[in-house]
Amino acid sequence: MSKLLIRALDTHDMLQLEAAIDLVENAFADPERYGRERIMREMLVDDPPFYRQFFIALKGGRVVGVGGVKAADWATRTHLLYLSAVAPEMRGQGIARALLAARVEWLLKRFGSGRVLVSTSRPKRFRELGFVEIRGSKIEGRTLMRLHFRKHKQRTAKP
């Protein structure tokens, strides 16, 4: 049984990029909203200061999960989790949770403080990492959730 590996998507690795795009496209199966062209644009854009970063989950060298995080261009230090998908045959193995944790950890290391927003049909997995539901936000089975984060400074003992 191979170990799960989570890492940043290398957009220069065409095999990984194609596998990640295929996974998201097939997971959403909504060509008008999540067509291949849009997914590819999202994964390849480099538009500072509004970054986008994707992470992939690899098992046995195969891309089995993908999840993105990007800056919200309309709010300071606000980040959005989006385009998350796990291969159907791999669901229920903690891959989505591992991708979620990796993205939150990346934000904490890179930004130190801020907030994260996500729209989800599975609020439990987000609550486990400290996300809270935004009251009145449930629409069509999806809940808008947020997480405020702040890196805690290490205290040093005084001599």
What is residue 152's predicted lDDT score, i.e. its pLDDT?
A: 64
Q: State the pLDDT at residue 99.
A: 96
pLDDT at 155 over 70: no
| 39: DSSP letter | H
Residue 113 gets which letter from DSSP?
Answer: E
Q: Two tokens at 139? A: 């629409």
Q: Is the pLDDT of residue 98 over 90?
A: yes
Q: With b meaning 16 or more CB within 10 Å and e meaning fewer, what string describes 43-55?
A: beeeeeeeebbbb
Average pLDDT value for residue range 74-102: 93
Residue 116 pLDDT:
96
Query: What average pLDDT score do residues 101-125 get?
Result: 92
pLDDT score of 53? 93
Q: What is the value of pTM for the model shown?
A: 0.86
Q: Which residues pair with 145 in a beta bridge?
A: 118, 133
Convert the pLDDT of each residue in 130-144 to its tens digit: 999 999 989 988 999
pLDDT of the residue at 68? 96
